């Protein structure tokens, strides 16, 4: 392979293709940088180019950018995926298998807050599984600090809260 940037792009596409949930920039970066395939700045350039080309879509939620493979990205990988060595594919597959639950939880539990038109702050909390919302709650509170605290606690206590609600409602 002549162009290392092409290989890095294919690695990102391959990673996104191997999971049925979004991966964050950080999750992809952790894998690639840990193995010293490239440096941080080059990887950010690669991800930016994939987004610009429409091969990957990005959604930013509270400082986390989730990446999803598009149809064009899957087609590109189908045409050029054979340019990724079997060793790299095995490393990716092993990493994703060994870390699936942690990776899935990081992108399935979402929390964000914003100031509403009424002047209150709204904390929007979501728990997803395979792209389906299991729970979607919006809480209005008077202070930004309270909304931020709710979002932080949702990350830590979402399973307990979900189980409590299911137990009370069923």
Q: Write the pLDDT tens digit of every residue in 23-72.
A: 999 999 999 999 999 999 999 999 999 999 999 999 887 677 889 999 99
The HSE-up count of residue 6 (CA atoms within 13 Å, CB side) is: 12
Arithmetic mean of pLDDT over the chain = 91
136-153 per-position pLDDT tens digit: 999 999 999 999 999 999
- Using CA atoms, how far apart are residues 92 and 56, in angstroms rounded to an integer? 18
Residue ranges in 18-143 assigned as alpha helix (H): 25-34, 40-52, 71-80, 86-108
pTM of the full structure = 0.74
* Helices then strands, each counted (H, E), the chain: 6, 6
The HSE-up count of residue 142 (CA atoms within 13 Å, CB side) is: 0
Which domains does the chain possess? Answer: 4-107 (1.10.10.10), 108-169 (no CATH)
- Of 93-97, 116-120, 125-129, 148-152, least confident by mean pLDDT is 125-129
């Amino acid at each position: 392979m002549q162009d290392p940037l092409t290989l890095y792009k294919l690695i990102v596409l391959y990673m996104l293709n191997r999971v049925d949930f979004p991966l964050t920039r950080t999750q992809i970066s952790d894998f690639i940088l840990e193995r010293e395939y490239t440096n941080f700045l080059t990887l950010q350039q690669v991800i930016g180019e994939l987004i610009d080309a429409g091969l990957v879509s990005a959604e930013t939620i509270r400082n986390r950018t989730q990446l999803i493979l598009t149809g064009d990205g899957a087609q590109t990988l189908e045409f050029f995926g054979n340019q990724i060595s079997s060793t790299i594919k095995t490393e990716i597959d092993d990493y994703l298998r060994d870390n699936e639950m942690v990776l899935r939880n990081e992108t399935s539990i979402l929390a964000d807050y914003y100031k509403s038109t009424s002047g209150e702050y709204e904390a929007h909390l979501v728990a997803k599984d395979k792209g389906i919302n299991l729970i979607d709650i919006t809480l209005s509170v008077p202070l930004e600090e309270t909304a931020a605290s709710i979002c932080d606690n949702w990350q830590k206590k979402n399973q307990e809260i979900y189980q409590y609600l299911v137990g009370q409602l069923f």
